[in-house]
Chain A
Amino acid sequence: MDRIKGLELSGAEIVVRCLQEEGVELLFGYPGGAVLWIYDELFKQDKVRHVLVRHEQGAAHAADGYSRSSHKVGVCLVTSGPGLTNAVTGIATAYMDSIPMVIISGQVPTHAIGEDAFQECDTVGITRPCVKHNFLVRDVKDLAMTMKKAFHIATTGRPGPVLVDIPKDVTVNKCEFHYPETVSMRSYNPVKKGHAGQIKKAVQLLLEAQRPMIYTGGGVVLSNSSAQLKDLVKRTGFPITNTLMGLGGYPATDGQFLGMLGMHGTYEANMAMQHCDVLLAIGARFDDRVIGNPAHFAQNPRKIIHIDIDPSSISKRVKVDVPIVGNIPDVLEEISKLLKEAKPQDIKPWWKQIGDWRGKDCLKYDRNSKIIKPQFVLEKLYEVTAGDAFITSDVGQHQMWAAQFYKFDQPRRWINSGGLGTMGFGLPAAMGVQMANPGATVACVTGESSIQMCLQELSTCKQYRLPIKIINLNNKYMGMVRQWQQFFHGNRYSESYMDALPDFVKLAEGYGHSGLLIDKPADVEPALRETFKRTKDLVFLDFLTDQAENVYPMIPGGKGITEMILSEDL
């Protein structure tokens, strides 16, 4: 603790001191009128490094990517009004995926609030539905405690973004600075320890299971529970699947891993979900893209155990038999401990059944195509980077192919907007990832439509010399929109074709980077190899890919998890 007796600091100084106290190394932001005093204080110190983005959405996504890849809190700073509203998409993205972030926004002076002042907006009102919590600081005396609370709330329980709105006069006013060591809030006490009785019940069910299945989500990644999960899976010998958000939580190259499940999950993972008799769900939330129609899912009888830190995620879409609210690593350790003395059932017949489902080879595609297949690019990307890269993605077909074809063996390597599905996320998120992991290989898998949504950040990448590799799967279509239009809208490709695309190579060059156009399958691997050798440069790889390619398998919206469209069906 750092107490400065008698010395009064301005609100702006206090903000910066709080960030220092929290060990914040990087701050993503964009200056403006209401935060000028805070920027002035940032200028006078060198502990907190500021990263200047080109658009506030980029600041929020970058802070988000920084957090996802490092397990630290992502912090961003924006000005009032448009500065904040620009960041809202990024805040909502982080909220949907439970990413711990602190957003500091400037506000017009307290006396001007409510008078429609220049660059005023009701920040607390606008962000309320897309933050874990938010604060408007009206008195400089409350500032330090509010900052402490913000970091505390963002990082405990189910994590999430917390916003602190600070009027300009509060950044000028002075008071004695004292950063509190602890926070105690009678209204906020997240549960940590799982209920012992429930854990016993869960173990009993696991031991009786003939057709067990483990299904894990982003919660495993966020709570750093991969080691405990691996221990449990190995101890039991049970099959496991990950959600889109959970990829990397369990090593994808392991034999017990059935691939991702859900709308574009593997045949074997989805079939095993439907036909298992005991389902252990960990840090996942049975959302619509994962289990499809809950009524269809409920047709097969099975016992469900659900471990989650957030009680409101339990029995939200699917009725659960054994709910366990608690911190995942602790609960998993408890379960493993109890399993030590016991032996699960012989599940060979179940594995045989799963083997038959695997035989479908549901991710197969035409490897002899003369046009570049997007799946081929991702397979090669995996090979060339030896599976060791951080991969960010935007949203659409390329995202699903990356999830299917890049085998993540470690958590926090797969960085994507799973909940909100935010196009434009990939590039700014990659900036945060690269800054959290200097020297690491970072690739942004994107499409020609998504990349254009936060393209301006190429300029930030130049300023901070971020050697991100952009893998642009360019099919000139909003591919996922086109796919739905083909399947469900009679091939009426309404506004999903994008003509007048920029020359991405020249564009990259215009921002001071290099670019390469690849239009032949034979050139894919050499181009990737050359690119990833260039560890100092951002390289924009523009792959012209098959316009008609679709993501398979696919569960149509509202259908059951086993009602998949497979490539062989067409």
Chain B
Amino acid sequence: MKHIISILVENEAGALSRISNMFSARGYNIESLTVAPTEDASMSRMTVVTVGSDEVIEKITKQLNKLVEVVKVVDLSEAEHIERELMLIKVRAGAKEREDMKRMADIFRGRIIDVSDNTYTIELTGDGKKLDAFIQALDQGAIVETVRTGASGIGRGNRVLRV
């Protein structure tokens, strides 16, 4: 099963590689990983999307907690949470496809953020499944380039991860 793990980590050189090393050394899989500083510049927040049984996820969270620079770890998928990912997708949009492509972007609430004679670049946010669905919905030949940030997540309501 897919899990979204949020990690608060000291914002120090090498912290990212300690975490990604642990995943590769122990054979755990990373579907996506995002990291950036929080409002407190001394700390970064990382979101790792991984797939595994409950036992494997338990091992992952224990191993993460064991890392000296890791401050806190939460498996967001354990309870209500919000997941968002940003995708920039460049699609073929010549005279013929232009209207259709615009409509498709609207249906998915995407925004066209760059236009050329024969392309659109569409910005789309949502959970991973929505972005997948958008890609599926397009004529595969129309896709020129995609870039995704990987998921970020946050707990719903009073569920908070902070020091």
Contact = CB atoms under 8 A, between A and B. Distances in A.
B65 A312 contact: yes
A186 B8 CA distance: 11
Nearest to A162: B68
A251 to B, nearest CB: 33
Contacts of A312: 59, 62-63, 65-66
B14 interface: yes
Given A187-B10, A187-B68, A187-B71, A128 B58 contact: no
Counting chain A CB atoms within 10 Å of each CB, which of B65, B68, B71 scores highest? Answer: B68
Interface in B66-88: 66, 68-71
Interface residues of A, number: 19
Contacts of B21: 128-129
Contacts of A316: 59
A132 interface: yes
Interface in B1-31: 9-10, 13-14, 17-18, 21, 25
A114 interface: no
Nearest to A131: B68
Contacts of B13: 136
B55 A315 contact: yes
Contacts, number: 40
Contacts of B68: 132-133, 153, 185, 187-188
Contacts of A36: none
B163 interface: yes
Nearest to B163: A186
Interface string A296-311: 0000000000000011
Contacts of B17: 125, 128
A128 B16 CA distance: 12
A16 interface: no
Contacts of B71: 186-187
Nearest to B9: A187
A133 B12 CA distance: 13
B14 A124 contact: yes
Given A187-B10, A312-B59, A129 B66 contact: no
A139 to B, nearest CB: 12
Contacts of B66: 310-312
B119 to A, nearest CB: 38
Interface in A44-84: none
A187 B14 contact: no
Interface in B47-70: 55, 58-59, 62-63, 65-66, 68-70
B26 to A, nearest CB: 10
B18 A311 contact: no
Counting chain B CB atoms within 10 Å of each CB, which of A129, A132, A188, A312 scores highest? Answer: A312
A187 B18 contact: no
Nearest to A310: B66
A59 B18 CA distance: 26
Contacts of A129: 21, 25
Nearest to B66: A312
Interface of A: 124-125, 128-129, 132-133, 136, 153, 185-188, 310-312, 314-316, 319
Given A133-B69, A186-B163, A188-B68, 16 more contacts: A125-B14, A128-B14, A128-B21, A129-B21, A129-B25, A132-B68, A133-B68, A136-B13, A186-B71, A187-B10, A187-B68, A311-B65, A312-B62, A315-B55, A315-B59, A319-B55
30 contacts: A124-B14, A125-B17, A128-B14, A128-B18, A128-B21, A129-B21, A132-B68, A133-B68, A133-B69, A136-B13, A136-B14, A153-B68, A185-B68, A186-B71, A186-B163, A187-B9, A187-B10, A187-B68, A187-B69, A187-B70, A187-B71, A310-B66, A311-B62, A312-B59, A312-B62, A312-B63, A312-B65, A312-B66, A315-B55, A315-B59
